[in-house]
Chain A
Amino acid sequence: MSEPQPLSAGHVLEYTYKRSVGPVLGRFFTSLRDGKIEGVKTRAGRVLVPPMEHDPETGEATSDDWVEVGPGGTVTTWAWVAEPRDQHPLDRPFAFALVRLDGADTAMLHAVDAGSESAMRTGMRVRARFADAPTGGIKDLACFTPEDAE
């Protein structure tokens, strides 16, 4: 048997899930759509951003006390993505970073559009940039940018 060159073709496997977000993240995303970042207070008074239904330290339900945080924040740790992939939040090199927003006691994972790795450092100040066309989801917060670059 002479061997033909093995064939090759694209194949996509996709599940088009819709995920229910619940009351707490629902409010968070609703506020994001309006250009506000909100956190929720635990019974002990800590501000969780992103908000959760339960305090991760005690397991108690969080309060109904919401506070607006940011839009500025501080990078607490980061990793540089030199070659972004299709599904990444930015189409150019960026940092995934934990950002503690001003007024929050926890940090959230998001992208920092810093231009280059040398512009990144732990403790740097960043500011939220909102999407031009919000849809009601985490992507309404497009990314963070370095404060001193503005």
Chain B
Amino acid sequence: MSEEQKTVKAIDGPTRLEYRYSPGRASTRFLRGMEQKKILGQKCVGCGRVYVPPRGACARCGLPTEEEVEVQDTGTIVTFTIVRVPSQNIEIELPYCAASILLDGADIPFTALLRDVPVETVRLGMRVQGVWKPDAELGPSFDNIDHFTALDEPDVPFEKFQEHL
């Protein structure tokens, strides 16, 4: 039986939502900073926590984060996961490590790709540094830091970052 003659068993029914996304003022400043390889956070006027990337307000206090601070591209792994299951639209070679990284000077970690490190050796407290894309490829994007890689520095003890998980 040819393909044409077969009974229809299924139909394509994609759900597609097309958005116009604006990151808002705080994250726009952050993304403009990323264009120049500067990581700009914002400090809460109440508790002093530094948000990277900034969202304009402190999630804990509800107060504006008015003071801009530049943080480093070095940081500490505060938690991580090893991905061994392939997923659609992700072309990274398996296994890889998705790490929650607390940048030096920041109080809120974010998730990033860790590369060039055997996944068996990844551990909490490990020191890492961002690897930037070539200057010609920089844009207003978080992706300017292509990935993180290990730094040859002693691990940070858990007590030093346990408030930042």
* Chain A interfacial positions (CB closer than 8 Å to B): 1, 3-21, 25-27, 29-30, 33, 86-87, 136-138
Contact = CB atoms under 8 A, between A and B. Distances in A.
Contacts of A19: 10-13
Contact of B8 (A6, A8, A9, A29): A29
24 contacts: A1-B29, A1-B66, A3-B25, A4-B25, A7-B23, A9-B21, A10-B19, A10-B20, A11-B18, A11-B19, A12-B17, A12-B19, A14-B17, A15-B14, A16-B14, A17-B12, A17-B13, A18-B11, A19-B11, A19-B13, A20-B9, A21-B8, A29-B11, A136-B8
Instruction: Classify the secondary structure of A's interface with B.
Output: mixed
Contacts of A4: 25, 28-29, 32
A134 to B, nearest CB: 9
Instruction: Classify the secondary structure of B's interface with A.
Output: mixed
A136 B11 contact: yes
A95 to B, nearest CB: 24
B15 interface: yes
Contact of B15 (A7, A17, A21, A138): A17
A1 B22 CA distance: 19
Contacts of B22: 6-9
A56 to B, nearest CB: 21
Contacts of A17: 12-15
B7 A11 contact: no
A18 B69 CA distance: 48
A137 B8 contact: yes
B11 A8 contact: no
Contacts of A87: 16
